[in-house]
Structure 1
Amino acid sequence: MILDIFFPNRCLGCNRIIDADLLVCELCFEHIDFAHFNYFDDNFIKEKCRLLFPVEHTFALMQFEQENLSRKIIHELKYKSREKAGKVLAQWTSERLNFKDKRPDLLVSVPLHPRKLKERGYNQLHIFTEKLSEFYDIPFDHHLIRRNHYSKAQALKDKEHRLETENTFSITKEISGKHILLVDDVFTTGNTLATIAWEILKAGNNTVSILVMAVDM
C-alpha cells in the first residue's frame, strides 16, 4: 500500500523497518521481559491478589519496568492508538498460556468510563480480549462491568492516590456459577481488579482469575 511506502512500520525498539503486522524486529524481541508466569502456580500477582480478594489463577505476559520495551509496547497501545498491538500481544499470550482442561467460562476486560472511552476513541483492551477469545474459543463480554466514575489514568496518579478505591464498578446483568477471567493491561496495586472482582463474587457463585498484559513488579 502507498501508506506503507511513505510511512513504513518501524520496530518499537530500534526503529528499523519491519513487516506491517509486527511490533518489534527479531533482535529486539529477544529483549522483551516476558514474565514466565505459570497460570496455575503461585506467582507475584496471585500473592498480591490473595491479600485483596479470593483469586483462582493469575497470569502476566510481560514485566512492566521503568525503561524496558514492554512498557513502550503498552504505551503505544494505550496512549497512541496503536490498536494492532493488542492483536500481537494476544498472539504472544496464546503461545505462552495453556488453560489445559480448565478454561474460564468468560473473558471480561476492565471497562473505561464512557467519557474516557469518548476521549480515547477505543478501549485498548477490547481487541486484545477479542483475539484471546478467538484463540481459546472462550466468549467475551465487554458490557458485563460498568465503570461508574470518571477519573484520570492510573499511570498519572501518584502512589498514594492509586491506593484509593475511588473508581467503583457495577454488574449490569445477572451472572452466577461462572469462572470469569478478568483482563487488564498493567497490574500495579491490584485495587481496581479487586473492586471488580468483589462485584463479580457478590453477584453469585462465581470465581475470578486474572490475566494482564504486564505486571509492574
Structure 2
Amino acid sequence: MILDLFFPDRCIHCNRIIDADILVCNLCFGQIHFTHFSYSDENEIKERCKLLFPVENAYALMQFEEESVSRKIIHELKYRSREKVGKILAKWIIERLDFNHQKPDLLVSVPLHPKKQKERGYNQLHLFTEALSKSYDIPFRHDLIKRNHYSKAQALKDKKHRLSTENMFSITENISEQHILLIDDVFTTGNTISTIAWEILKSGNNRVSVLVMAMDV
C-alpha cells in the first residue's frame, strides 16, 4: 500500500495514474486500433498467411502502427519485463475471440533461443499462451519448437535479415493429425510464423492456424 502511494501504476502511453490491473487509462484504451477480425472468416492476416503457407484460420488482436498505443504495449511486454502485459492481452483476446467450433488441438508459441530467454528472464509469450490455454481449455506446448540460432531482436534487423529464417527453427517431436494454433506477438513479414508452420506441416498430416497480438500495417 505504501509503495502504491509513492510508486503508483501509470498508463504506459500518457503516464496518468491508473489501477494496478490495467495497462492504459480509459482515454488511451480508446486509441487502440483493435482489428475486430473473425477467427474463422477471411481477414487481412489470413490472406497474408495464405501467401506463405496453407493456413486454416488466423486472428490478430490489434494493428501495430508507428507511435501507437499497441506498439508501446508490445514494447513493454518484450523489452521491459512486464509479464503482466501478457495476461492482460490474453484477457482482451478472450473477450473478443470465438473459435466458432474450430478450436485447435494445441497451442504453440514462437520460442526464444535459450540464451535470449536467459537475458530477458522469461519468454513474453508463455504467460499469454498459458492464460489462453486455461480459458479455452486447450493444451499448450512450450517445447515443441526449438529456435536453433541466437540472433538479435527483430526490431534491430534490417528487412533483408528479417527475411532470412532458413534453418532457424526445428520441431522437437514428430506429431500428426493435429490442429496447431501458432502464437506470436507481432506479425510483420510473416517469415517466422511461416518457417515454423512448414516444420509442423512437414511433421505429419497437421493443420496450422495463427494468432498474434498485433499485425504490422
Contact 2:107 2:138 in 1 (8 A): yes
Q: Could you tell me the TM-score, scaled by structure 1's length?
A: 0.97
Which runs of no fewer than 5 residues in structure 1 stay unpaired? Answer: none
Could you say what the CA RMSD is over the residues aligned between the two structures, in angstroms?
1.0
Equivalent-residue separation in structure 2 for 1:166 and 1:4 (angstroms): 48
Measured against aligned partners, the alpha-carbon deviations of 1:127-155 in whole angstroms (never above 9, x if no partner) come to 11011111111111100000111111111
Query: 2:204 is matched with which residue?
Result: 204
Which runs of no fewer than 5 residues in structure 2 stay unpaired? Answer: none
Tell me, yes or no, if structure 1 residue 183 matches structure 2 residue 183: yes
Query: 2:192 is matched with which residue?
Result: 192
Equivalent-residue separation in structure 2 for 1:5 and 1:136 (angstroms): 37
Q: Provide the secondary structure at the position in 2 that maps to 1:56.
A: coil
Measured against aligned partners, the alpha-carbon deviations of 1:83-121 in whole angstroms (never above 9, x if no partner) come to 100011000001110012111000000000011111111
Any runs of at least 4 consecutive aligned residues in structure 1 with deviations exceeding 2 A, and if so which?
Answer: none
Q: Provide the secondary structure at the position in 1 that maps to 2:214.
A: strand
Query: 1:52-131 to 2 correspondence within 5 Å?
Result: 52-131=52-131
Deviates more, 1:165-174 or 1:117-126: 165-174
Q: Call closer, same or farther: CA 1:35–1:167 in 2, change over 3 Å.
A: farther
1:201 offset after TM fit, Å?
A: 0.4
Q: Could you tell me the TM-score, scaled by structure 2's length?
A: 0.97
Measured against aligned partners, the alpha-carbon deviations of 1:150-193 in whole angstroms (never above 9, x if no partner) come to 11111111112211124511111131101000000000000010
Deviates more, 1:160-169 or 1:30-39: 160-169
Identity over aligned pairs, percent: 74
The one-letter amino acid paired with 1:95 is E
Tell me, yes or no, if structure 1 residue 141 matches structure 2 residue 141: yes
